Structure 1
Amino acid sequence: MNTAIDFKYLDEIGHNHALFEQTVARAQQLFLDGWIATIGLSGKDSGAASICLVEALRRAKTIKDDVGPLHVVTTNTTLENIVLHDYIMSLHNDVVEYGERNNLPIFSHELRPSLASQPIVEYIGRGKLLRTPETTARARDCAVSWKVEPMKAFLNGLTKQYQTDKILSISGSRDDESAARKSNLSKRNESSCTPVQTALGWSLALIKDWSLNDVWQLFSIVDDGDIESYSDNFHYMKKHYSAGNAGVCDLFAGNLAQNKSCGSRFGCFLCALNKEDLSLENQMDTDPKTYGFMRPLNDLRTYMINTLFDYNNRSTLGRKLSKDGYIKVGLNQYSLPYRMKLLQMVLTIQQEAYETSGNHTIDLIDYKELLAIQFAWSREGLSINLEWHSRFGMMW
């Protein structure tokens, strides 16, 4: 990829702006080269990448009218940190409005796992055990089932829609995030400059070489009005990450003191590959008014972890017939009574949240999920009758 960068100009506008300008120039060339771009928007790193990408599209369109489009994508596993997810979706609204004002082809998408693969349907419907290091052979099981597969389906849809394989997935992944992330980027040969083929198709890690400080500096530059951005609400990014970091965010706005860097990690609250969801717990303790309504979700996580190896909660129902005609019986699914208890707990959490969650809602189970659970239970011999509706239907 041949990207012309005026380094003299970059020196004049300063280091912070120079990194931004270099990144925008690379992304601008991608659009001019005919790539259709997607970006998964989920947090601080992808937020920083999105600012660069939207500005690149704006500049590319002044040179060539038919560039793009850009698809902004967020996957809702239904188990996301609710406040952060709602904030990310507000950025979707901002980027679409910005695109309309500036005649830019920008589209917003909220993806979900298929109904059968939704976590609540898996856990409560089919009795799949809570994903922990002891119950899953692959460390990325949660991400694969609930995020990667929906994204694959979405990208396949774009390929059919545009009749081209020149679809580029742009991420906010950075080497500086962790040794594991750096290793994975290296294994996939991902670059910040050149698209490469991965399991998801063509991919590019636009801010791969950025530091955590670079990310927060960009938000500060946007907040100060030094550069144009599609949203003026990025100060909320720091608020949410600071709360997830126990109220401390030393690393921002050029402050190089790294006493307690603002690098919180947010995950699905019912993916227990880590025993504790420290970012969520920090948020609730730091600002109960904003985040406290999510405490019952963390309590549900704790309950499921604590009861995971109570084998009275397991089913001995055989599910697979071997080639020799035998049915293998094991204790590797939740029992129906335990699943009923989980359903009652989740519906109670949802009902009570309407009174305490302010502008946010807890929507783990809707009617379609309830029907999927009902179908799964009926396959195991549970008679669905008036008792079912009286026990569960009245909780809506």
Structure 2
Amino acid sequence: MHTSQLPLFPAVNPQVSLVTVAHLTPEELEQRAMAAIDAVLEAGHPMICAWSSGKDSSVVANLMLNAARARLERGESCPPLLINHSSITVENPEVQALASSEIEKMRAYAADQGIPLTVRVGHPTLYSAFACRVIGGRGLPAFPDTRGDCSVDWKVRVGDRLTAEAYAELRHVTDMPAVLMTGVRREESSARAASIASRGERDDGIWTNAEGGMRLSPILSWTSDDVWTYLGYCAAGMIPSYSDFAETMRFYRDAGGSSCVVVASDMMDARKGGGCGARSGCVTCTKVKSDKSLTNMVESDADRYGYMKPMLAFRDFISNTQYDWSRRSYVGRTIDKDGYIAIAADTYAPQMLEELLWYALSIQATLPRAANFRYVDRRELFAIDMLWSAYGLHKPFHALWIAREVERGNLKFPPKVKPVQKTPVPSYGRIYVGSDWDGIDTPKVAGLFDAPLAMAEEGCGIGSIGTRFTRDGRIVTDFDTTQQFEIDEEGAFLFLEFEADRHIAEFHRDDAEWTAAARIYLRYGFVTLAKGAHARWDGLLRRTEWRQQNGLHGQPPLEHLIARCDAPARQEEALFAEAA
């Protein structure tokens, strides 16, 4: 930790126009940003810093902490400060380690200086995380030519949730509204610059977003070189800082494959370069064609980063098979208003999902303990098994069976495949099932009504779990709910230790009722549904039961599905002939 007693740079006028900011020295930029932050604190506003562990947000966090430090040294008060950090769980392990280390340094620095700082770390919901979303079969990964909604689920919504929680927390200690501060910079891209202009962002004082939230963008006009020069001053001990940022610089250097990063010994020379633009997100990201950061790291230092090579292979396997239609399911999950199920390439096929889980568990089983990384943790393993059962993708407890196989040393790793060229999405027609297949009086489709549990409750007089009616008049078991789909860690552990093998032996077979695992998990009580989701899960289970009764569960041979299709559309006739 660097806490040099050297004075901060001489104060400058914070009201310098944006036109002249480009002519300010790094010292003047630093003091200008400090003055803007101090003005917010002087007005009594609590401050929230959105921190990612990257270079820009690290500068902003240090500016905030130093502004608070200066106020306390002058004998002035300081409102509460918060650091919000969104962890996406499948982030590059080196980034995860960096974030954890830097957070501890922030806490130590704040405690040492008497700064009122709280650090909050948020994660995606279990249902939206990579394991459930992709391996659980809920949806496909984000590809270059598809919507990137994973970033919304894993970053934006987590950040919004943390901010809302922070606002609620701060309302109990102050009447002054909080100001959210970010490290956004105009230079980053033309698109971002346009967005910044449309929002009216400024770096010399508070601005307000469309929802009325108070914001501050203190390094809005900084260049990448300005950022690295500032971190270089911190590394040299010329600016008080919670960190020497050595690990931050090392990551950017190794991920960027360049020597552009400022280091203490040659920080002034670094002003001549173009700065480092290396970015790294999750190790599963397929939104880009290739993960240059991860590739650079693996190639730059095999001894240090070689353990991530299988991760890169896993990412490349997913990316390169985007248009491999043999890895897709062809039975639609919904029934349209006319009573048809579409037969077309859709989400991943059960076999592909099995491969992904096997690869993920095998890779994480061989990682060094220090990596502290999991594609799939225990809760997510059960969530995957729950979804596979509810969707009718695999026989009951298949995910747990795969996990047991990996534990026995039966490891599988992603093959190296060439990118499959883009072709039109295959669509073969529709299967007519009618509109009365799941009529309210249909005896063979139970949905979320657990008859054995109901009989046990009635016979024993326990009465802890009753029944309820959905809006469409169906009776379902009134399982417990929470704000979101959740799995109790301790309950999952106990089931895995004492019940899993027995249930695998009894139910892990093709002729079992494939929704059995989902019901059993709910029956044991360590899986809870989201509030208001009874009807949705009831419909999902009913459709799966009906599909199993009609041979449409799992992964039916494509030729069988085509044979059952009603008259295909004209544009699909060529595909029929090709598939035949």
Please name the residue that 1:374 is paired with. Answer: 385
1:171 to 158, 179, 182: 182
Map 1:48-63 to 2 at 5 A.
48-62=59-73
Summarize the Cα distance change of 1:365–1:200 in structure 2 as closer, same or farther, 3 Å threshold.
Answer: farther
- For 1:7, the aligned partner's letter is V
Q: Deviations for 1:260-314, whole angstroms, at most 9, x for unmatched residues?
A: 5322122223222210111111111111222221121111111011112111111
Is the counterpart of residue 304 in structure 1 residue 318 in structure 2? yes
Kindly indicate whether residue 223 of structure 2 is the aligned counterpart of residue 211 of structure 1.
yes
Report Cα offsets for 1:302-339 as digits up to 9, x if no partner: 10111121111111232234444444454221111110
Moved more, 316-325 or 294-303: 316-325
CA offsets, 1:191-243, max 9 Å, x none? 212232156933322211111111111111112211211223x1222111111
Q: SS at the partner of 2:132?
A: helix
Q: Which residue of 2 aligns with 1:180?
A: 191
The answer for the alignment partner of 1:35 in structure 2 is: 45
State the shift of 1:49 in Å.
1.1
Question: How many angstroms does 1:127 deviate by?
Answer: 4.2
In structure 2, relative to structure 1, the CA distance for the partners of 1:165 and 1:375 (3 Å cut) is farther
Q: Residues 104-143 of structure 1, C-alpha deviation per residue, up to 9 Å, x if partnerless?
A: 111112211100010121000024112112232xxx5232
Within 5 Å, give how 1:1-396 maps onto structure 2: 6-7=11-12, 15-42=25-52, 43-62=54-73, 66-136=77-147, 140-163=148-171, 166-193=177-204, 194-198=206-210, 201-232=213-244, 234-249=245-260, 253-255=267-269, 261-354=275-368, 359-381=370-392, 382-385=394-397, 388-396=399-407
| CA–CA distance in structure 1, aligned partners of residues 81 and 261 of structure 2 | 33
Q: TM-score, normalised by structure 1?
A: 0.88
Q: Give the conservation status (yes or no) of the 8 Å contact 1:74–1:110.
A: yes
Aligned residues of 1:127 and 1:339 also touching (Cα < 8 A): no
* 1:284–1:294 contact (8 Å) kept in structure 2: yes
Q: TM-score, normalised by structure 2?
A: 0.61
Q: Which moved more, 1:56-65 or 1:207-216?
A: 56-65
Deviates more, 1:281-290 or 1:62-71: 62-71
Name stretches of at least 5 consecutive residues in structure 2 with no aligned partner: 1-9, 14-23, 408-580
Match of 2:410 in 1: none
In 1, distance between residues paired with 2:30 and 2:125? 37
Distance in 2 (alpha carbons) for counterparts of 1:82 and 1:202: 33
Q: Which residue of 2 aligns with 1:11?
A: none
After superposition, what is the alpha-carbon deviation per residue over 1:374-394, rounded to whole angstroms, capped at 9, x for unaligned?
Answer: 111011223324x65343235
Cα distance in 1 for residues equivalent to 2:75 and 2:395 = 63
Check whether the contact 2:85–2:159 (CA below 8 A) recurs between aligned residues.
no
* Whole-angstrom distance in 1 between the partners of 2:115 and 2:230: 22
State the shift of 1:255 in Å.
2.7
Give the residue type in structure 1 aligned to 2:93.
I
Q: Distance in 2 between matches of 1:241 and 1:309?
A: 33
Q: Percent identity?
A: 26
Deviates more, 1:202-211 or 1:143-152: 202-211
- Greater helix content: 1
After alignment, is 108-117 or 253-262 more displaced? 253-262
Which region of structure 1 is more displaced relative to structure 2, 267-276 or 324-333? Answer: 324-333
Cα deviation 1:155-193 (Å, max 9, x = unaligned): 111222222682222111111222222222222222212
Unaligned runs of 5+ in 1: 9-13
- Bigger radius of gyration: 2
Describe the shift of the 1:365–1:70 C-alpha distance in structure 2 as closer, same or farther (beyond 3 A).
Answer: same
Letter in 1 for 2:234: V
User: Following the alignment from structure 2 to structure 1, what is the Cα–Cα distance between the partners of residues 333 and 213?
Assistant: 35
| Cα distance, 1:86–1:317 mapped onto 2, change above 3 Å | same
Q: Equivalents in 2 of 1:21, 1:388: separation in Å?
A: 56
- Partner SS, residue 371 of structure 2: coil
The alpha carbon displacement at 1:36 in A equals: 2.0
CA RMSD of aligned residues (A): 2.4
Higher relative contact order (CA 8 A, sep 6+): 1
1:308 is paired with a residue whose SS is coil
